């Protein structure tokens, strides 16, 4: 690796092991001298072709059954897991019921840069349907093209998220939309500016009248329409979904082995479970860069609870192969992420001056070295690829004409 602008936040044996394992981390410096250190855990032996064939037959048999009869997942005691599966119907809240005109209005607003203070940034600038409703960047460019602190997540399936943002600081999609608009580093606009800009456009007045009881344009209604549209951006047509719809042949042998690894030996179901492949909870994976240049305290900033230091919300894994780069800081590719999980994730070492620091972040106890071999890692990656939605060209709407 040649890029040199970020130092990895951990040192010593575990760090060197990880650095040796992660060939695909963006911009990470390898600063351990003992990079060739041996892995702490013996890797599982590779399977021969014949052994794989026998194993696949066993798995086809197990997974042909209804999920309730599948092999039990490997989760730690106390984890309240839910089986992976198909998405339920979208829950539109009673306070913001869905109707077609509101969805259409929300879509128009989502693509309209006139919602931003600069007049140049739309929601779709950073949540682009052609890029899996994310932006394909490490971190997004915000107002006046200033880089933001975090990676833009997809907005697909956010209807099913119990909280929004990497740190869960918004409790509803409506609240989230208001927060992004007002954020000076993102849309950089005031409620009054939004209302004035939209009221000046005759077609928006008509669209609001169709979507709501009357033609009053308010900041809240703008957020409601945006939320209503975003809740219609849902997946559910991946090959995994077909597999779950009694099409058990929809997964290849590699992918099926990967599914089983995901549920068992790789221990992913400790946090990524249910139809969203997320527990909606917050965990510390050792990526907080605590007291380093790229520090992100995550959930702690929201709750001020010591236990939340460096915790981030478990992201969905649906469509994850479309939204690289990954993690809250956008510093990783999928193969690097899998290598890190296999090594048990980085363990931050306390510096001398940090021995009594009560805020020092603690890594999740669910993470530990997995001992997966390269076949396993490839199978796991193949399974994650089955969560990808088929490509549908989303036509940006024709925006209402300027006044």
Spell out where 198-297 has E strands.
282-283
Looking at the Cβ atoms of 32 and 361, the one nearer to ligand HEC is 361
Looking at the Cβ atoms of 145 and 247, the one nearer to ligand HEC is 145
Residue by residue, DSSP assigns 368-403 as ------HHHHHHHHHHHHTTPPPP---PPPPPPPP-
Q: Among residues 121, 159, 189, 217, which is the contact residue for ligand HEC, using CB under 6 A?
A: 121
| Tokens coding 390 | 């088929």
Geometric angle at alpha carbon 371, from 17 and 251, rounded to 5°: 120
Looking at the Cβ atoms of 251 and 326, the one nearer to ligand HEC is 326
Site string for ligand HEC, 291-330 (x = CB under 6 A): ---------------------x-xx-x--x--x--xxx--
| Contact partners, residue 370, CB within 8 Å, separation at least 6 | 41, 265, 266, 267, 341, 342, 344
Segment 151 to 170, residues that bind ligand HEC, using CB under 6 A: 152-153, 155, 158, 161, 164-166
Site string for ligand HEC, 253-282 (x = CB under 6 A): -------------xxx-xxx----------
Q: Among residues 181, 197, 211, 343, which is the contact residue for ligand HEC, using CB under 6 A?
A: 181
CA distances from 257 to 171, 198, 272, 333, 396 (A): 37, 52, 17, 22, 39
Q: Indicate the Cα dihedral angle 351, 356, 358, 359, nearest 10°.
A: -20
Q: Among residues 21, 22, 177, 201, which is the contact residue for ligand HEC, using CB under 6 A?
A: 177
Q: Among residues 108, 140, 238, 339, which is the contact residue for ligand HEC, using CB under 6 A?
A: 140
Q: Is the dihedral of CA 101, 123, 202, 200 positive or negative?
A: positive
* Closest approach of ligand HEC to the CB of residue 40, in Å: 17
Q: Among residues 16, 176, 339, 386, which is the contact residue for ligand HEC, using CB under 6 A?
A: 176
Judge contact between 256 and 386, C-beta under 8 A.
no
| Tokens coding 307 | 């236990």
* Closest approach of ligand HEC to the CB of residue 98, in Å: 16
Strand 282-283, strand 312-313: pairing? antiparallel
Q: Among residues 159, 180, 228, 331, which is the contact residue for ligand HEC, using CB under 6 A?
A: 180
Q: Among residues 128, 186, 241, 379, which is the contact residue for ligand HEC, using CB under 6 A?
A: 186
Segment 189 to 248, residues that bind ligand HEC, using CB under 6 A: 226, 230
Asked if 75 touches ligand HEC (CB under 6 A), the answer is no
Question: Within 13 A of 321's CA, how many CA atoms are on the CB side?
Answer: 13
Ramachandran angles phi, psi of 398, nearest 5°: -75, 120
* Closest approach of ligand HEC to the CB of residue 246, in Å: 25
* Closest approach of ligand HEC to the CB of residue 50, in Å: 27
By CB atoms closer than 10 A (0-12, 13-18, 19+), residue 373 is middle
Interacting span for ligand HEC (CB under 6 A) from 81-89, 119-127, 192-200, 386-394: 119-127
Segment 38 to 57, residues that bind ligand HEC, using CB under 6 A: none
Asked if 187 touches ligand HEC (CB under 6 A), the answer is yes
Q: Which of 159, 291, 170, 277 is nearest to 227 (CA)?
A: 159
Helix locations, 133-199, DSSP H: 173-182, 191-199
Looking at the Cβ atoms of 96 and 323, the one nearer to ligand HEC is 323
By CB atoms closer than 10 A (0-12, 13-18, 19+), residue 231 is buried
The site that binds ligand HEC (CB under 6 A) totals a number of residues, namely 51
Alpha-carbon distance of 346 to 206, in angstroms, equals: 54
Judge contact between 21 and 345, C-beta under 8 A.
no
* Closest approach of ligand HEC to the CB of residue 401, in Å: 21
Alpha-carbon distance of 361 to 40, in angstroms, equals: 23
* Closest approach of ligand HEC to the CB of residue 35, in Å: 23
Three-state DSSP class for 175?
A: helix
Looking at the Cβ atoms of 111 and 212, the one nearer to ligand HEC is 111
Residues that bind ligand HEC (CB under 6 A): 121, 123, 125-127, 140, 142, 148, 150, 152-153, 155, 158, 161, 164-166, 173, 176-177, 180-181, 186-187, 226, 230, 266-268, 270-272, 283, 285, 287, 312, 314-315, 317, 320, 323, 326-328, 334, 337, 341, 364, 366-367, 380
């Amino acid at each position: 690796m040649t890029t040199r602008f970020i130092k990895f936040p951990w040192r010593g044996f575990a760090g060197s092991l990880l650095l040796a394992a992660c060939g695909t981390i963006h911009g990470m410096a390898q600063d351990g001298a003992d990079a060739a250190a041996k892995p702490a855990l013996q890797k599982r032996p590779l399977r021969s072709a014949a052994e794989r064939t026998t194993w696949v037959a066993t798995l086809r048999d197990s997974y042909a059954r209804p999920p309730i009869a599948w092999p039990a997942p490997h989760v730690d005691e106390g984890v309240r897991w839910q089986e992976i599966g198909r998405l339920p119907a979208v829950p539109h809240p009673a306070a913001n019921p869905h109707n077609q005109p509101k969805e259409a209005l929300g879509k128009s607003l989502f693509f309209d840069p006139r919602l931003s203070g600069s007049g140049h940034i739309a929601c779709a600038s950073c949540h682009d349907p052609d890029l899996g409703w994310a932006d394909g960047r490490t971190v997004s460019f915000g107002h006046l093209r200033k880089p933001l602190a975090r990676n833009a997540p997809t907005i697909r399936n956010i209807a099913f998220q119990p909280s929004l943002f990497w740190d869960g600081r918004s409790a509803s999609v409506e609240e989230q939309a208001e927060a992004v608009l007002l954020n000076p580093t993102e849309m950089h606009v005031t409620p009054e500016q939004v209302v004035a800009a939209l009221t000046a456009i005759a077609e928006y007045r008509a669209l609001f009248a169709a979507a709501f009881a009357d033609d009053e344009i308010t900041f809240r209604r703008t957020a409601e329409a945006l939320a209503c549209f975003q809740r219609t951006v849902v997946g559910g047509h991946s090959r995994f979904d077909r597999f779950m719809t009694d099409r058990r042949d929809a997964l290849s042998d590699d992918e099926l082995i990967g599914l089983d690894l995901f549920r068992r030996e790789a221990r992913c179901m400790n946090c990524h479970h249910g139809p969203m492949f997320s527990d909606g909870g917050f965990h510390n994976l050792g990526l907080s860069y605590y007291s380093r240049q790229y520090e992100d305290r995550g959930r702690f900033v929201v709750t001020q609870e010591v236990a939340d230091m460096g915790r981030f919300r478990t992201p969905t894994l649906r469509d994850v192969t479309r939204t690289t780069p990954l993690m809250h800081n956008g510093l990783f590719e999928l193969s690097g992420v899998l290598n890190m999980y296999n090594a048990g994730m980085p363990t931050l070492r306390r510096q001398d001056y940090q021995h009594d620091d009560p805020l020092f972040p603690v890594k999740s106890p669910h993470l530990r070295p997995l001992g997966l071999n390269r076949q396993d890692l490839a199978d796991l990656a193949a399974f994650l690829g089955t969560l990808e939605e088929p490509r549908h060209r989303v036509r940006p709407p024709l925006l209402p004409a300027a006044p």
